[in-house]
Amino acid sequence: MGNCWGSQPQGPTPTTTGNLSTATPGTSQSIISSSYTTTTTTTTSSESGSSSMNSKFSVSTGVQPYPSGQILPTSNLRVFTFAELKAATKNFRADTVLGEGGFGKVFKGWLEDKATSKSGGSGTVIAVKKLNSESVQGVEEWQSEVNFLGRLSHPNLVKLLGYCFEDPELLLVYEFMQKGSLENHLFGRGSAVQPLPWDIRLKIAIGAARGLAFLHTSEKVIYRDFKASNILLDGSYNAKISDFGLAKLGPSASQSHVTTRVMGTYGYAAPEYVATGHLYVKSDVYGFGVVLVEILTGLRALDPNRPSGQHNLTEWVKPYLFERRKLKSIMDSRLDANYPSKAAFRIAQLALKCIASEPKQRPSMKEVLESLERIQTANEKPAEPKFRSSNTRQAHQAVHHRSPIQNGSC
């Protein structure tokens, strides 16, 4: 499924084999391949590898608490009528379109509060995703969204409010995310797009890490399509993971991976998954590492418009992540050097671990989250006052004045 609140897609860019969508600018088209078929034993059979409506979570008794999140024993989603959503979106009018992806278009809507509507009362802004009749994987992905988001609740997962199933119409109703996607903020251009300051970037990375860590530790859910366009931001830039159309239950305790047809997005998909169809929990960690590199550089994971040898971001910049001095040369110029270089280098080192070629070499998302939180805490500590002689202070000020980097160190 494509980005829910991102920019409108343009013409497709050629891709290699596999059921992966491209991560190139403005592209969300998938290429279908029968190279892999699902052989997992963790869900009911489905050629696409997505969960079916009959798939079960292993937790079946009571609400299971997790830090800031929970697994609901049953889905509490509201069933909407097509007429309700048609009215909420003004008949799916073109000027209410928020974005479009492989599943279909997403519309901004207004849901009247029935209890107060007669007296001119309040309502709720919603986002309505409507299945495109030409969507190849639409039904399976719609089912997967309902299965997972219907029961998983966490501050860093986008909230699914309900759905509509009136043949042939399939729709999903979400909370509205005011700030759109991380993709738009990192790569969007124009006066309407303001570059994200360093502290907001770190906040977003931590929020997304919390959401992914919750999925991995609560039910061993493999998200499978972690990318900047699937990280949505509310009015306070709190990150929430969206679009669970490709999510899968992970391997059982006796297994290291599940095997499924390759699906996801080029540039973010882990190399072992693309090569073999073997999907590990830590395949998600690779995608998270790619997003960390995007946050540092402000560059897309895959961009054929870059010079030869630079199309794949991680392959190109990996040598620059090992050394702080080299890292500065690829940092997002829109930060204008207003970032702590020590913290940036620590995140670069963390990204390197995440994009390791072998899954077992990557940290868990719990470890990634803890590392990011330590970096944030260290960054927030006030600097210790330093007392120097008058001559030393003057010499330092003179050197600092000549430096082209401002506020570039911790």
Active site residues: 225
Could you write out the DSSP letters of every residue in 183-243? HHHHH--STT-PPPPHHHHHHHHHHHHHHHHHHHHHS-EE-----GGGEEE-TT--EEE--
Q: Are 126 and 112 in contact (CB under 8 A)?
A: no
For residues 130 and 166, what is the distance between their CA atoms, to the nearest angstrom?
Answer: 12
- Give 83-148 as a DSSP string: HHHHHHTTTT-GGGEEEE-SSEEEEEEEEE-TTTGGGT--EEEEEEEEE-TT-SSHHHHHHHHHHH
d(CA 208, CA 182): 10
The Cα 317–Cα 326 span in angstroms is 10
The two most distant CA atoms of the chain are separated, in Å, by: 80
**282 in a labelled binding site:** no
d(CA 352, CA 288): 11
Contact 135, 172 (CB under 8 A): no
Residue type, 325: R
| CA–CA separation, 224 and 49 (whole Å) | 11
- Binding site as annotated, residues: 130
- Binding site as annotated, residues for ATP: 130
